[in-house]
Structure 1
Amino acid sequence: MNDESDEGGRIAALRPRYRDDLAAGVDRFFEPRRTDCPWCGSARLTTRLRTTDLLQHKPGRFVLDRCEDCGHTFQNPRLSAAGLEFYYRDFYDGLGEKKLGDTFGGRTKMYRGRAASMLPHDAGPKTWLDVGTGHGHFCAVAGQVLPGTVFDGLDFTDGVELAEREGRVRHGYRGAFPDLAPGLAARYDVVSMFHYLEHSTDPDRELRAAREAVRPGGHLLIEVPDPESRYARLLGRWWLPWLQPQHLHFVPVANLRERLADLGFTVVAEQHAEPHDPVDLLAAGWLALDHAAPREDAPWLPGPPGRARRALRAALFLAAAPALVAGTLLDRFAVRPLSHRLGLSNAYRIVARRD
C-alpha cells in the first residue's frame, strides 16, 4: 500500500469520531467570553482579530481581543478543555506527527542560535529543562552547542515520550508544567520556553512554575511571538504567529519584563532580530492560497475530495509557485537583515536570571 492510500485509510478510520464530536456544534469547545483582561484586569477591551482555523481548517471562528491599558492580546472566548483537545488532536501527534516532526527536525540553525543565546550568561549549565519540548529536536541540537549540559524535556503530548525513547532528552516529563514543578524545585540551571507561553491557558501560572524549577542564580529563557510586530497589523489574519486557535495569549515584551521582575528575576538580555523567523510573506501567501483552494482530505470533513477538486488544488498551487518563491526570497534576503530596524521581527527572546 502506498503512502497516499495508507493516509486515506487513516483519515477514513478517524472520520466517525470527528463526526460525533461535531454533531452538537462547536459551542461546547469555548468558555464564556471574558469582560476583563486576564493580564491586568482592565475592562477596556477591543477586538483585534476575527479568523478561522487556517492550518487544519477545523470548523469554528476565533476572536482575539486586545487590552487598551496593558496591550495584552488574548483569545476571547477561550477554548475550553474539550476545545483544546479537539483542536490539538492530529496536529502535533496522530496524523500530523510525521509532518510536524520533519518540519521541526530540520530547523538546526534556529536551535543552535537559541542554545547559543545562553552562552554570554552561563557558558556551562549542567542541567536544562526545555518546557514545551515537543519531540525534543531542540535538545538534541543544543547538546552539540553545550556538550556538558544534560537536557530534560516537558510537554503534555506523547511527543515528549518519543523524545526520551530517541535519546534527545535524558528524561521526558509528560503533563502540565505547574502541576509538575513542585517535584522539580530548584533542580535546573536553565529552564527554556520556546514558543510555549502563548499556548498556555494561564501564562502567569507558567512563569511561577518556572521560578520554582530554576535554581537561585539560574536562568529562564523565553521566546514568544511579538504582538507588537508591524507584520501583525500589515498581514492581519494571514500573519502565521496568530496561529488560531492554538495561541491563547500574546504578551508584549514590556509586560513580560515587568512580571518577571515581580517574580524575582532580572532580565539580562532582550533580543528581537535573532529570534525572527523569516517566513512571514511566504506563510501569508500560502495561508491565503490554501484558504481559497479546495480542501485536502481530513477526517473532520464530510468526505474526501473528488478527482476534479484535487486537480484544481494542484493547479492553483502550481500557478502560485512563482509568487511563493518571491515571498521566500523577500523574507530571507530583503526583510530579515532589517527586521528589527523596521519593527517587523515576529518574535522576541528574553533571558532572565533568578535572583
Structure 2
Amino acid sequence: MTTAETGPADRGAQVAARRPAYQAELADGTGRFFGPRRATCPWCESARLTVRLRTTDLLQHKPGRFVLDACQDCGHVFQNPRLSSAGLEFYYRDFYDGLGEQRLGGMFGTRAAAYRNRALSVTAFAAAPGSWLDVGTGHGHFCETARGLFPDTAFDGLDLTEGVELAERHGRLRRGFRGSFPALAPELAGQYDVVSMFHYLEHSTDPARELAAARQALRPNGLLLIEVPDPGSRYARLLGRWWLPWLQPQHLHLVPVANLRRRLGELGFTVLLEQHREPHDPIDLLAACWLLLDEIAPREDAPWLPGSPPGRPSRALRTAVLLAGAPVLLLAALLDRLIARVAGRTGMSNAYRLLARRAEPGS
C-alpha cells in the first residue's frame, strides 16, 4: 500500500516503521554512498576543475555533504564525488515515492499550465504525433495534460520509481516502463515520434548514454524535447546554495546550453528550437526563502534523523517560525512573478528547453 493510499494520518506510524532500517544504514556513516572523486570533467575530460558549491540536503535533510565542481573549459557542472548506486538508492528513497509520494504527487498534479507550455513547444513541428515517450515521467501528469492538445497521440512513460506504474493504473499512460532508459532503449527502438525529457537529464549518471538512448527510441525525423535547469542562470550565483535547481544530492549533472546543443549535433540531431523565457519557473526567491526558513526551524520527524521524534514544544516552535516567515514568503512570491516577465532576456531564467529533430539515416 502506498503513502497516497494510506493518507497523511499514518505518516507517524510509517516514519516509526522505517526508523530502525535507516538508523542501521547510517551507523557506519555516509562514506559508502559516494564513489571516488573525479579528476577530470565527465563532459569534455578537461582537468581544469574548480569547486562551484558545497552544500547539504536542504529538502529531506538526510545526512551527508555534497560538492558540485565546474569545468573551467566547457562550463559543465557536476557532483564530485558522485553518489554511488547505494547512495542513489538511499537519497531517492522516500522522496518521489514512499513517504514523499503524497506530497510530491499532489504538487506535480497542480502544474497543468507548465505541462501545457511544454507540450506547445512541439505543435509547430508535429501537429499530431502518433506516439510519445515521456522519460522521467514520474506520476504521468505531463502526459495527462498533453493529451488535451494531442488527443490522438499514444503517451507512454518511463521512470525508475513506482510512480510510473501508478500512472498506468490511473490511465495517464498507455504503457508505463519502469527501469533504466539506456537498458530499455533496445526494446523501444524506433517506436516513437516524440521523446521528452523534462528535468530528467540532470538526474542521470551518464547524460551521453541517455541522449543516445533517446536517439535509438525515436523514429527517423522524430523529435527530442529536453528541458533542464540552466547552470548559467544569474540566480545560481545570486542565491548560492539556496537556489532550488541545485537540488543536492539528486542533480548529478547541470549542462550549459551550448554543450547540449553541440552534443545533440554530434548525435545527428538538428536543433529546431531553443527557449529560455518559456521554461522559466517563477519560484527562485520563494523557494530560497522557504529553504532558509526550513533550515532555521526545528526539523519535522523523519526516520533518518537521529534521536526521538520531536515533541510538542519543538513542533510548536517550527510552526511559529514558519508563520513568522509567511510575509517574507509572500513578498518573495510577488517578486518572482515580476522578475519572470524579464527573466528570459536578463539571464535570470532558471531553465532552458531544446527541441531537436533526429536526422534520417544517411542524411
Shorter-chain-normalised TM-score: which range? Answer: over 0.9
Cα distance in 2 for residues equivalent to 1:41 and 1:6: 49
SS in 2 for 1:144: coil
Match of 1:125 in 2: 129
The residue number in structure 2 matching 1:329 is: 334
Q: Is structure 2 residue 50 aligned with structure 1 residue 53?
A: no
Change in CA separation of 1:115 and 1:66 when aligned onto 2, cut-off 3 Å = same
1:186-197 matches, within 5 Å, as 186-197=190-201
Aligned pairs (5 A) from 1:96-245? 96-245=100-249
CA deviation map 1:316-338 (0-9, x unaligned):
11111001000011111x10100
Question: CA shift at 1:75, angstroms?
Answer: 0.1
CA RMSD in angstroms, aligned pairs only = 0.9
Amino acid at match of 1:277: D
Letter of the structure 1 residue corresponding to residue 320 of structure 2: A
Task: Find the partner of 2:318 among 313, 319, 334.
Answer: 313
TM-score for both structures, normalised by structure 2: 0.96
Determine the C-alpha separation between the residues in 2 that align with 1:6 and 1:111: 31
The separation in 2 between residues aligned to 1:10 and 1:183, in whole angstroms, is 37
Mapped to 1, the partners of 2:7 and 2:231 lie a distance apart of 39
Give the aligned partner of residue 75 of structure 1.
79
Tell me the distance in 2 between the aligned counterparts of 1:123 and 1:241: 32
Q: Aligned equivalents of 2:213 and 2:92: distance in 1?
A: 23
Q: Output the CA distance in 2 between the equivalents of 1:35 and 1:98.
A: 40
Q: Name the CA distance, whole Å, in 2 between partners of 1:74 and 1:31.
A: 13
| Residue 7 (structure 1) shift | 1.1
**Equivalent position SS for 2:262:** helix
Distance in 1 of aligned mates of 2:58 and 2:114: 25
Secondary structure of 1:222's match? strand
- Classify 1:5/1:354 alpha carbon distance in 2 versus 1 (closer, same or farther; 3 Å): closer
Consecutive unaligned residues of structure 2, counting only runs of 5 or more, are 1-5
Match of 2:20 in 1: 16
Aligned length: 353
Counterpart code for 1:19: Q
Structure-2 separation of matches of 1:107 and 1:274: 14
Instruction: Provide the C-alpha distance between the structure 2 equivalents of 1:3 and 1:311, rounded to a whole number of angstroms.
Output: 22
Asked if 1:285 is matched to 2:289, the reply is: yes
Cα offset for 1:218? Answer: 0.7
Q: What are the Cα deviations for residues 234-274 of structure 1, in whole angstroms up to 9, with x where unaligned?
A: 00000000000000000000000000000000000000000
Instruction: Map residues 228-267 of structure 1 onto 2, 5 A cutoff.
Output: 228-267=232-271
Distance 1:237 1:76 in 2: 16
Q: Which amino acid is the alignment partner of residue 67 of structure 2?
A: V
- 1:28 corresponds to 2:32: yes
Provide the secondary structure at the position in 1 that maps to 2:345.
coil
Q: In 1, distance between residues paired with 2:270 and 2:214? A: 14
How far has the Cα of 1:306 moved from its partner?
A: 1.4
In 1, Cα distance between equivalents of 2:312 and 2:266: 59
Which stretch of structure 1 is more off in the superposition, 277-286 or 294-303? 294-303
* CA deviation after TM superposition for structure 1 residue 47, in Å: 0.1
Distance (whole Å) between structure 2 residues aligned to residue 47 and residue 4 of structure 1: 40
Query: Hey, what does 2:42 align to over in structure 1?
Result: 38
Residues 1:344 and 2:348 aligned together: yes
Paired with 1:5 and 1:109, the residues of 2 have a C-alpha distance of 30
How far residue 116 of structure 1 moved from its aligned partner, in angstroms, is 0.8
Q: Describe the SS at the equivalent of 1:117.
A: helix
Question: Equivalents in 2 of 1:122, 1:241: separation in Å?
Answer: 30
- Partners of 1:24 and 1:135 lie apart in 2 by 34
Secondary structure of the corresponding residue to residue 38 of structure 1 = coil
1:353, CA displacement in angstroms? 0.3
AA paired with 1:245?
P
Q: Matched residues in 2 for 1:6 and 1:66: separation?
A: 43
Q: How far does the alpha carbon of each residue in 1:299-354 deviate from its partner, in whole angstroms, 9 at most, with x for none?
A: 1112211111111111011111001000011111x101000121100000000000
Cα distance in 2 for residues equivalent to 1:123 and 1:53: 42
Instruction: Map Cα deviations across residues 47-100 of structure 1 (whole Å, 9 max, x no partner).
Output: 000000000000000000000000000000000000000000000000000000
- Counterpart code for 2:354: I
What letter matches 2:45 in structure 1?
A: G
Letter in 1 for 2:209: R
Letter paired with 1:312? L
Deviation track 1:166-221 (CA, whole Å, cap 9, x = no partner) reads: 01000001100000001111110000000000000000000000000011111000
